[in-house]
Amino acid sequence: MRIYIVRHGETVLNAKGVFQGRTDEPLNQNGRDLAEMTGKAMKGIHFDRCFSSPLDRAKETASIILRESGNDIPVETDDRVIEMNFGDMEGKPFSEMGDEGLKFYFDAFHFAGFPNGETIQDVCGRTQEFLKEIIANDDGKTCLVSTHGCAMRGMVNYLSDNPADFWFGRAPYNCSFTIVEAEGGVARITDINKVYYDESLIKDPFAKK
């Protein structure tokens, strides 16, 4: 079984360096272009099922990738792979998170969560429940999962060689993949931060933060 977990394409709020979380922000044109390039590059990969966060940016990313890769299957939504709830930081720029908020990037498991939001442990709990359920029902098929940056990292954290490094060294790029292979209920990460488009198009709003 192979599971392709993708972070959604770019949005206006991504480009501005703003916490989106549960804000239902659509893809911007660059985000659609990235998803389209990704899908075209994935022609020949047959997906048996597709799961997505219920937020529009994730659903649209999944739909474009499926269309461009030639996979005519429905997008099934699952609330467990929705993005982290950033509480009072929703809609605010990364620069306003303060010293305590820096733990979110540099010491995630000791980050208490933004007021009225989730913790990293909350995100890991629900996203890993989803992934483990998929793996437990291993039928040798190939799945696409369209989700979000924090949700993606939480989903595969338990498969990491270094779980304490929640971000695997960095936040995932838009339309980048973590690929998981499973057999007999045993799973492993085979690729991380993989993009199917020209790497010169990568935007990294975290690089200077």
Distance, in Å, from the CA atom of 48 to the CA atom of 70, rounded to the nearest integer, reads 12
User: Rg of the chain's alpha carbons, rounded to an integer?
Assistant: 16
Cα 100–Cα 103–Cα 108 angle in degrees, nearest 5? 140
Cα 101–Cα 106–Cα 112 angle in degrees, nearest 5? 45
- Residues serving a catalytic function are 8, 83
Q: How far is CA 129 from CA 80, 119, 142, in A?
A: 8, 16, 18
Q: Tell me the three-class secondary structure of 74-126, residue by residue.
A: CEEECHHHCCCCCHHHCCCEHHHCHHHHCHHHHCHHHCCCCCCCCCHHHHHHH
CB 2 within 8 A of CB 144: no
Q: Which of 198, 207, 205 is nearest to 34 (CA)?
A: 198
Distance, in Å, from the CA atom of 158 to the CA atom of 173, rounded to the nearest integer, reads 21
Distance, in Å, from the CA atom of 124 to the CA atom of 130, rounded to the nearest integer, reads 10
